[in-house]
């Protein structure tokens, strides 16, 4: 994880600590956390301690850890992902090669946008 992403996590730590549901998020982090990491999170006594442990581990899990974490958040608790996405400027691409929104979009609108891009 790069320093910018570490800083973003630190700035949002209190919000994540207040609202994150780590046990719901863990299944989406199988590409980030190994079995030992997951167990270290699960054995903590309180939800807050589990969050703290998860957020301590993430920065040491490689260059894609932040993106993978945000993607998992988008699946489980999108309202927590939104400020991280906005601050980091993350962009993912859909199968058409267009920038994909992380937030629910009407499928018709996505196809319309693709058709507009294709006709140029």
State pLDDT tens for residues 15-57: 999 999 999 999 999 999 999 999 999 999 999 999 999 999 9
Calpha distance 52→48 (Å, rounded): 6
Can you tell me the mean pLDDT for 95-106?
Answer: 47
Select the more confidently predicted residue: 98 or 79: 79
Is the pLDDT at 111 greater than 50, yes or no? no
Q: Where in the chain is the domain with CATH 1.10.533.10?
A: 3-89
pTM over 0.85: no
CATH number of 3-89: 1.10.533.10
Residue 61 gets which letter from DSSP?
S
The tens digit of pLDDT for each residue in 54-95 reads: 999 999 999 999 999 999 999 999 999 999 998 888 765 444
Phi, psi of 41 (to 5 degrees): -75, -45
């Amino acid at each position: 994880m790069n320093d910018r992403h570490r800083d973003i996590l630190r700035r949002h730590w209190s919000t994540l600590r207040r609202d994150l549901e780590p046990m719901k998020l863990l299944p989406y982090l199988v590409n980030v956390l190994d079995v030992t990491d997951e167990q270290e999170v699960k054995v903590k006594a309180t939800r807050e301690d589990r969050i703290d442990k998860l957020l301590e581990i993430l920065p040491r899990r490689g260059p894609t850890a932040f993106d993978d974490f945000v993607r998992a958040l988008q699946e489980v608790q999108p309202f927590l992902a939104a400020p991280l996405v906005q601050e980091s400027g993350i962009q993912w691409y859909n199968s058409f090669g267009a920038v994909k929104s992380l937030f629910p979009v009407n499928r018709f609108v996505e196809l319309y946008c693709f058709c507009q891009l294709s006709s140029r």
